Amino acid sequence: MLPALARRHDAEALAVAGASLPLTTGADARDDDPHDDDGSDNPKDKRRYRAIFLSDIHLGTRGCQADILLDFLKQTESDYLYLVGDIIDGWRLRRSWYWVQSHNDVIQKVLRKARKGTKVIYIPGNHDEAARDYVDLHFGGVAVLMDAVHTGADGRRWFVLHGDAFDGVVKYAKWLAHLGDWAYNIALTLNTWFNRLRRVFGYPYWSLSAYLKHRVKNAVDYISSFETAVAEEARRHHVEGVICGHIHHAEIREIDGITYCNDGDWVESCTALVEHADGRMEILHWAPEFEKRQTRKQRGRAQSLLPAG
């Protein structure tokens, strides 16, 4: 199915297909593999959470950190997995086609989790807005919703949404949003090459684009206004907290009695929001975890090449 989609350059169809098709190839189709074919060091060492919230993955772009995300998905398990929008970047794919195996692997892994019992909820964002035509349907064990209310283990209720409805640029001047997306992708390309150089010299991952964005006063003011607007919407839904994405800025803070949570992104910060068994929320920064695991694997391979003696 994917090659046919690629030939048509139909990004919107891909946004739907990504959530609905098994996309099985080779070993990925084997659900009975005791090791889950995920490359994890030890299934017993996986981190267990009640719920995981991911957004702004932007599959279909060169800036997507799919390898780091795959590592996260392999090393974690949860009862609920919320995909909080901008999972596939339809805007970018319409302009130029980019789809590599690691992006397909991310979809494979999510669908495998759904088949094995994880409740997967997909809330489309503005970059994968075509999937909003399929709200309230189920595909491959994935429920597509416009928004959701998640009840935590501690009884707190969380309003879950992508958040683009509160972005004035996206809502009232879509052409400006696309212009901003073009400039943002340039920053992400620079970020990718910058981190390749850092790896060559042994330095860990660091987001140049996030640093530049948060040094700009207008960006800081926008983030604050966005957070306040989303928290107010949660209040109108009579819940205790709100969980969103969209602005690529992971954070947990109190705003006038509402707990605001943003799960971040997987192009800059590589962050996820997780709910622990007791209902506590935490932001995980996965790039350092990935780097440590890669370093251990490299050391292990180097030691295996040493002569016995």
The string of pLDDT tens digits covering residues 254-292 is 999 999 999 999 998 999 999 999 999 999 999 999 998
Is the pLDDT confidence value at 33 over 60? no
Q: Collapsing DSSP states into helix, strand and coil, what is residue 114?
A: helix
Name which residue leads in pLDDT, 40 or 292: 292
Answer whether 73's CB lies under 8 Å from 102's CB: no
pTM of the model: 0.75
Mean per-residue pLDDT for 99-116? 97
- Residue in the block written with tokens 């964002």: 125
Q: Would the pLDDT of 118 be above 90? A: yes
Note the helical H segments in 85-207. 90-95, 101-115, 168-172, 174-200
49 and 276 in contact (C-beta within 8 Å)?
A: yes
In the chain, beta strands by DSSP E: 47-54, 76-83, 119-122, 138-139, 142-144, 148-151, 157-160, 241-244, 251-255, 258-262, 271-275, 281-285
pLDDT over 90 (residue 115): yes
Model confidence pLDDT, tens digit, residues 51-105 = 999 999 999 999 999 999 999 999 999 999 999 999 999 988 988 899 999 999 9
Q: What is the mean pLDDT of residues 162-189?
A: 60
List all residues 6 or more positions away from 232 whose beta carbon is below 8 Å from its beta carbon: 258
Domain ranges in the chain are 2-30+39-296
User: Mean per-residue pLDDT for 134-141?
Assistant: 93
Per-residue exposure over 266-302, b if at least 16 CB sit within 10 Å of its own CB, e if not: bbbbbbbbbbeeeeebebbebbebbbebeeeeeeeee
CATH T-level assignment (fold) for domain 2-30+39-296: Purple Acid Phosphatase; chain A, domain 2 (3.60.21)
